[in-house]
Chains A and B, each alone.
Chain A
Amino acid sequence: MTNIQSNAVVAETEGPVAPVEPETPKAKARPAWRSLNFGPRLWVSVGIILVITLLAFVGPLFYPYGPDQKVGSIYDSPSAEHILGTENFGYDVIAVLMASTRNSLINGLLAGTLATFIGVLIGILAGYVGGWLEEALMGITNIVLAIPAIVILILISISLQSTNIPFLKGIAGLALVIGITSWPWTARAVRAQASSVATREHIDVAKLSGARTPGILVFDVLPYLASYVVMAWVLQLASAILAESTLSMLGLGVSGTNSLGMQLHWALAFQAVATGAWWAFLPPTIVLTLISFGFLYLQSSLDEVFNPRLRRGKKKNLAAAAKRREEAARKLAEQGDAVGVAA
């Protein structure tokens, strides 16, 4: 897939293809990944996500206070000892923030991966196999899409709170709920692409070679969708983190667990906004915004990497590409003239 795509990349960026003399093979081929354009947007988004991940997973190892350690009273103001003060339970805001970010990221990872897996599985089956199976799977998908996801999320979350099954009451349970309610749009998009891939010649070749359907799906269809799946997964991660925050803010989060949404829930419940305790609600809001922004930016920049039509690049590269296209067009025109004269 990478080679095919890299050829396409060349075609798109260089404009009309001029007939060229066959070149002698170079001693060493250029690595495939080098042809992908990792622009500055990608590095910015990766940087944001990396910083937040470090805050969540590495920060607690060095921070002197724990998220369950009472260090002050309700909404103590920021001080040298507690840079962002304390929240409503008297815990250090930074300690709680790190634990919350970690749990929110884990929740997003679990829920996003589950939603992407379900969406890709249903989409690829429906798109490749077609027929009644496609009708049935897409019918289910459309039904799930038609019901507002937030309603289902709230109802299932309330039910989960009443259950006595330990697994379902934790972060994993909430991630499961979010995952099984947010796959439909992935399934629809994957189905469309799988339908398109299914008509390509290499699929016929695979079938004639005796490949079985599961093998074709994994080795001949899925690679063509890989770039989309990666982007969908990134978006699902961010959506899952936002969904968890929404539920937790409504008081439907996981009992006794720190999360960005729970921090906001308690900040609202104990009137942090009204009493001017900005340090209780602003840090989780900013981290939540950064996570969403980082993942959206990453998805957007990955879109550029995988789709040459969206590629922006630096100005000087664009000018060079334009110059090469102009040169190629001129050569074509000259060849045309030469043919005409010869005729």
Chain B
Amino acid sequence: MSDSIFESSSRRTFLKAAGLTVGGLALAACTGTQTPGGGATGGATANSEKKGIGNNGKVGTGRKGATADALLIAGFQWGPPATFNPLSPTAAWPAAANVMQIVYETPLRWNIATGEIMPGIAKEYKVDGTESITLTMQDGVTFSDGSACSAKDVVFSYELGKKNKGINVASFWQLADSMEATDDKTIVIKVNQKSKNVSNVLRMLTENYVLPQAVFSSIADDKLPTEVMAKPIGTGPFTLDKADQTQVVLKRSDAYWGKTFYGGTPVMSQIIHPIFKSNEDGNVKFQAGELDIMQQFVSQIWKMWEGGKPVGTYLKDKPYYLPGSMPMLLMNTTKKGLDNPAVRKAIATAIDYASIADTAMSGYTDVVQASLIMPTGAESKFFNKADAEANGWKYDAAAAEKLLTDAGGKKGSDGVYVVDGNRLGPYKLITPTGWTDWNASCEIIAKSLKAIGIDCATNFPQQAETTQAIQGGTFDLAVWYVSGVNPATPWARFKDIMSQSEMQPLGKTTFANYGRWKNDQVEAMLTEASQAVDDAAKKAAYDKLDALYRKEVPSCPIMYRPDEFYEYNATNFYNWPDENNSYAPPMFRGAGNTWMYKIQKIAG
């Protein structure tokens, strides 16, 4: 027996593997145990003078070194940046549509806390009934290359949607008939007189960036979404400094046009977005004070300030975040089995929503209702609780199975139902990898479906791959987002889930109705809702839409979630907006950019 070979290969290999695993665990344990007690932000102290500090009343002592003047942010970019073309469906932060007004800016800005539409590049807007909207530009708006940004650039940016139906802004032209620059500062938008959907036109003006005509006019129409762009030029206060697979770095543009409007330039000279593989990597850095602000799920965030970290949220008590969105379980109605409304309703009835709220979401949400309308906040006036309870669904595994058997379903020998000759599964339930709360929700959903006899397994690809599958219609089931609270919701949410007006054929990119659900009545109902002039008429129209939704179940909400997770660490900056210091909303997009100009550096 040649023991020498055995000794030198197998045992060594084994020891290496064992060492790596145990070492990894030890490292993970060390990382974690270091941070709650002291770690990088061990110097956090109680402070009663400063505002916008940790929920425990503590503030850090500032950061030293190369990142002392930088704002470190996370939660937006999860893979190597591919392009900074804002028209690309996979554009990198901060060029991705309606993410953050740092490099590109929008004509108007939405404030989720007050429900106001605030000035952006346009200093004011006037609505003429349901006929037209007039925008007046701010003075001296320029792009980061020094060229002037005029009303013509604004019109050009929106008219790109006429040239290519595959870009986000294309849907603007279902809401507006024309957009005209009457002079260098004035833009007149004629509202589409079929839909007369003024609120949705305003919404589009808060979400779509203004782009330089000089740059984008040179791109062929069919290449608009695919053009790779490495140096974005926008009107924002920052420009792209560098980007690689580990980080995106922006530098402040001191020639920014909006210094007077915003009261100066931002205090940070750089904004750095490290690219993490998952929430947990970012959370560890955030807890240690190596991130200043982020938009990502943190399980049991209260443990951070209970552990002495100067971590803060907008609300000081549970649920800590303003509810503002409704992640959905999308069902691809072109797939066998999922094309049956009874099966879809059984799926909606089988999901253990309470578990999702309690564990996957750390209690940051209530159990969802069978409705596309948020039962809280500005939308609550349209929510029909009685109908949701009478004709909707709630978690009941036995009732879910009954729905399947009533639809003629029979369980096969493998324990999976067959309905109308279609075996229910295998279905792949996707959502991007590293989105911890959504990943955990998917596991609960998959288990719930398996429990009633639907074959479902989770799969967590990269974000870009998930986006492509959802927009292209190649998915089976997916947890994905739809319109959060905005000037046009709940109408926009109904449109996102039910409208066929923007729906593209399978394989082509679509930005609404990802499940490709079809219905002859819905477009008329959407038009009725958009044209309703008062809340009573709107409620009546939404009641009809919600009733159809509950009957057909093209998708189902799984939780109420903050539109954006807003959480900060007052190690290096203070004066963050919160409920006691509410000069800005707890958001990153829209009017969320206000805090960039107001936060202050703790040291230096």
Contacts and interface: CB of A to CB of B under 8 A. Distances in A.
B359 interface: yes
Interface string B420-443: 000000101000011010011001
Nearest to A74: B359
What secondary structure prevails in chain B residues at the interface with A? helix
A269 interface: yes
B17 A256 contact: no
Interface string A217-254: 00000000101100110010011001101100101000
B447 A256 contact: yes
Interface in B1-16: 1-3, 5-6, 9-11, 13-14
Given A235-B14, A269-B279, A271-B32, A70 B355 contact: yes
A289 interface: yes
B450 to A, nearest CB: 7
Interface stretch (A28-36, A37-45, A186-194, A331-339): A186-194
Nearest to A182: B13
Nearest to B414: A166
Interface stretch (A18-26, A97-105, A272-280, A312-320): A272-280
Interface in B434-479: 434, 436, 439-440, 443-444, 446-447, 450-451, 455, 457-461
B22 A289 contact: yes
A306 interface: yes
Contact of B458 (A256, A270, A271, A288): A256
A274 B283 contact: yes
A276 B36 CA distance: 9
Contacts of A228: 1, 6
A255 B427 CA distance: 12
Given A74-B359, A74-B362, A274 B32 contact: yes
A235 B11 contact: yes
Main secondary structure of the interface of A (DSSP, over half): helix
Interface in A79-93: 88-90
Nearest to B449: A256
Given A89-B359, A256-B458, A269-B440, A246 B21 contact: yes
Given A162-B461, A185-B9, A185-B10, A88 B299 contact: yes
Given A242-B18, A256-B450, A273-B31, A307 B359 contact: no
Interface in A187-222: 188-189, 192-193, 196
A245 B35 contact: no
B5 A188 contact: yes
Contacts of B352: 70
B589 to A, nearest CB: 26
A238 B14 contact: yes
B298 A271 contact: yes
Contacts of A299: 11
A4 to B, nearest CB: 12
Contacts of B428: 164
B582 to A, nearest CB: 29
A242 B17 contact: yes
Interface residues of B, number: 60
Nearest to A276: B36
Contacts of A188: 5, 9
B14 to A, nearest CB: 5
A266 B440 contact: yes
B47 interface: no
B436 A270 contact: yes
A68 interface: yes
A99 to B, nearest CB: 13
Contacts of B28: 268, 273
B458 A255 contact: yes
A249 to B, nearest CB: 8
Interface in A283-342: 285, 288-289, 292, 296, 299, 303, 306-307
Given A235-B10, A269-B278, A274-B283, A193 B299 contact: no
Contacts of B193: none
Contacts of A128: none
A77 interface: no
Nearest to A191: B5
A161 interface: yes
A73 interface: yes
A242 B16 CA distance: 11
B51 to A, nearest CB: 27
A274 B35 contact: yes
B162 interface: no
A245 to B, nearest CB: 6
A251 to B, nearest CB: 6
B284 interface: yes
A189 B440 contact: no
Contacts of B1: 193, 225, 227-228, 306-307
B280 A243 contact: no
A62 B226 CA distance: 59
Contact of A74 (B11, B279, B299): B299
Interface in B348-388: 352, 355, 358-360, 362-363
Contacts of B300: 74-75, 270-271, 275
A271 B278 CA distance: 12
Given A89-B443, A271-B280, A193 B17 contact: no
Contact of A89 (B18, B287, B298, B440): B440
B363 to A, nearest CB: 8
A90 B355 contact: yes
Contact of A275 (B11, B303, B443): B303
Contacts of A264: 25
A54 B596 CA distance: 59
Contact of B10 (A74, A186, A274): A186
Contacts of A271: 32, 280, 283, 298-300, 303
A174 to B, nearest CB: 13
Given A242-B17, A271-B300, A196 B32 contact: no
A274 B303 contact: yes
Contacts of B459: 161-162, 255
A112 to B, nearest CB: 11
Nearest to A254: B457
A300 B35 CA distance: 39
Nearest to B25: A285
A166 B280 CA distance: 30
Contacts of A186: 10
B33 interface: yes
Contact of A239 (B13, B455, B461): B13
B66 interface: no
B32 A273 contact: yes
Given A73-B358, A256-B443, 18 more contacts: A88-B299, A90-B358, A189-B2, A192-B5, A193-B5, A196-B2, A268-B280, A269-B299, A269-B439, A270-B440, A271-B283, A273-B31, A273-B32, A273-B33, A274-B32, A275-B303, A289-B22, A307-B3
Interface of A: 68, 70, 73-75, 88-90, 161-162, 164, 166, 169, 185-186, 188-189, 192-193, 196, 225, 227-228, 231-232, 235, 238-239, 242-243, 245-246, 249, 251, 255-256, 264, 266, 268-276, 281, 285, 288-289, 292, 296, 299, 303, 306-307
27 contacts: A161-B460, A162-B461, A169-B457, A185-B9, A185-B13, A188-B5, A189-B2, A189-B9, A192-B2, A228-B6, A231-B6, A235-B10, A235-B11, A239-B17, A245-B21, A246-B21, A251-B278, A251-B460, A269-B299, A269-B439, A271-B303, A272-B32, A274-B35, A274-B303, A275-B299, A288-B21, A292-B21
What are the 6 closest A-B residue pairs judged by CB atoms, nearest first?
A273-B32, A255-B457, A185-B9, A255-B458, A270-B299, A274-B32
